[in-house]
Amino acid sequence: MEAQLQYGTGNLSIEVPSSNVTVLAPRPEEGLPDEAAAFMDAVRHPTGSAPLKELIGAGETLAVVIPDITRALPRERLLPWLFEELSHVPPESVTIVNGTGSHRANTEEELVAMVGKDIYERYRVVNHDAHDSGTLLFAGRTPEGRDVHMNREYVEADRRIVMGFIEPHFMAGFSGGYKGVFPAVADVGSIMHYHRAAVIGHERSTWGVMEDNPTQDQIRANGSLLPLDFCINVTLNRHREITGFYCGDPISAHERGCESSKASVMVPCEHEYPIVVATNGGYPLDQNLYQAVKGMSAAAQIVSDGGLIVSVARCNDGFPAHGNFRDMLLEHDSPEAMLETIYAPGFSKYDQWQVQLFAHILQKARVALHSEIEPDDVRAVHLEPVEDIAARIAKELESIGPDAPIAILPEGPMTVPYLERAPVGA
């Protein structure tokens, strides 16, 4: 059968050499017929909050946090509607904060594309830098007694708005809500503590689970250290069309959105599959191997022990070059060695959390990668490079039998499969 796999800004077409194939994709949802009108209705009749316009005074400074380029939020559409609704707030009173978390800063060209040329020229747009203490201010102290610092513009603002995209998340249960604040505008020390091994390795830190999820618990506790006045969250379909707005209180509005997202994109499966082909959802999420771990993780939920995951991610940005992800993979000769280092008492290193998840996936299954990364570099980080996806599947079927079931996730982590016998909380 033919399958279309999201890859970069386009699709890869492959002819799967089998008839025993299950394609797992989100429930088809139409985009809203009038997104702008739906936005205005959502911010004027929000969940658990007064209307947005009533919350922001004309003489107050405002910080608007947006997710960085690795997230598919349609900022270029949302921001003009937002500022139309807040027309009483002068542009010079507004700072748009690009919530990079610990990711790299986005370039000026990227920022212009993200927010739109008109918005970029009229409003101040800044990259958050978790590593530069000079750009951070004290935001509060956690229940554990740890100091948290956040982006200066965010801390100093009189009012704060966060924008986000709700989808299942492989550690936090779902993205969106307070995650647009923490870790998005936090200091790197707080981010590393949030991503510590005991939390990442917790069984409740996983896809679709909100209750008793220690990752989500930290997001909400730390994200609420400063008042967040309004949350603007959306759900999207495969065409990046908005299917729903969830605006207002960052808890109650977010929870409504999580329920909607779960019904749309989390797919129950009756059994495991010895072969799972998964993309990383195409651009912007498949720009590097670090992000591609998400698609691998989605596949790992239903792959058989010792089975094969074929990860299809362009990785045009490499591993990427910044951070410790690549080096930590190269420094260890096995996933077991990676985990031994990470779980050692007192160990703490930036990017260890993604290495930890990667290692757990490799302990369960073999992973082959179709990407733009050089084959020798792929092998060096314990993956198998694949040029011809169909041929690799055919080779695997020769070993395990021609009728072995195959699962395909053409939109990667935009679809999150789970075994029906496994508990999935929300």
Neighbouring residues of 333: CB distance < 8 A, sequence distance ≥ 6: none
Q: What is the CA radius of gyration of the chain?
A: 21
Q: How far apart are CA 342 and CA 350, in angstroms?
A: 11
How buried is residue 394: exposed, middle or buried, by Cβ count under 10 Å (0-12/13-18/19+)?
middle
Q: Is the pLDDT of residue 424 over 90?
A: no
Whole-Å CA distances, 87 to 45, 84, 126, 328? 18, 5, 21, 48
3-state secondary structure of 11: strand
Any idea which residue has 């993979």 for tokens? 329
- Residue 322 above 80 pLDDT? no
Mean pLDDT confidence for 206-211: 94
Q: What is the pLDDT of residues 231-270, one digit of tens each?
A: 999 999 878 899 999 999 999 999 999 999 999 889 999 9
| CATH 3.90.226.30 in the chain, residue ranges | 2-25+270-419
Maximum CA pair distance of the chain?
A: 70
In whole angstroms, give the CA distance from residue 367 to residue 280: 14
The fraction of the chain above a pLDDT of 70, given in percent, is 99
Please list, in sequence order, all residues whose beta carbon lies within 8 angstroms of the beta carbon of residue 397, skipping any fewer than 6 positions away: 17, 18, 275, 404
The CATH fold of domain 35-263: Rossmann fold (3.40.50)
pLDDT in tens, 101-129: 988 899 999 999 999 999 999 999 999 99
Other CB atoms within a 10 A radius of the CB of residue 120 amount to: 18
Name the burial class of residue 402, with classes exposed (0-12), middle (13-18) and buried (19+) by CB atoms within 10 angstroms of its CB.
exposed
3-state SS class at 307:
strand
The region, left, alpha or beta by phi > 0 then psi within -120 to 50, assigned to residue 7 is beta
What stretch(es) of the chain map to CATH 3.40.50.11440? 35-263
CA–CA gap between residue 277 and residue 23 (Å, rounded): 9
Over 90: is that where the pLDDT of 10 sits?
yes
Give the type of residue at 1: M
Q: Average pLDDT, stretch 282-302?
A: 94
Question: Which of 236, 245, 198 is closest to 217 using CA atoms?
Answer: 198
pLDDT of residue 420: 80
> Which pLDDT band, with edges at 50, 70 and 90, does 321 fall under?
confident
Query: Percentage of the chain surpassing pLDDT 90?
Result: 89
Average pLDDT over all residues of the chain: 95
pLDDT of residue 425: 44
* Measured distance CA(393)–CA(290) in Å, rounded: 24
pLDDT of residue 320: 87
Domain 2-25+270-419, classified CATH 3.90.226.30, yes or no: yes
Model pLDDT, residue 421: 63
Average pLDDT over residues 32-41: 98
The confidence score (pLDDT) of residue 135 equals 97
Of the candidates 5, 9, 47, the residue with the CA atom closest to the CA atom of residue 244: 47
First and final C-alpha spacing in the chain: 35
Amino acid code (one letter) for 184? A
Residue that has been written with the tokens 């939920």 in this structure: 301
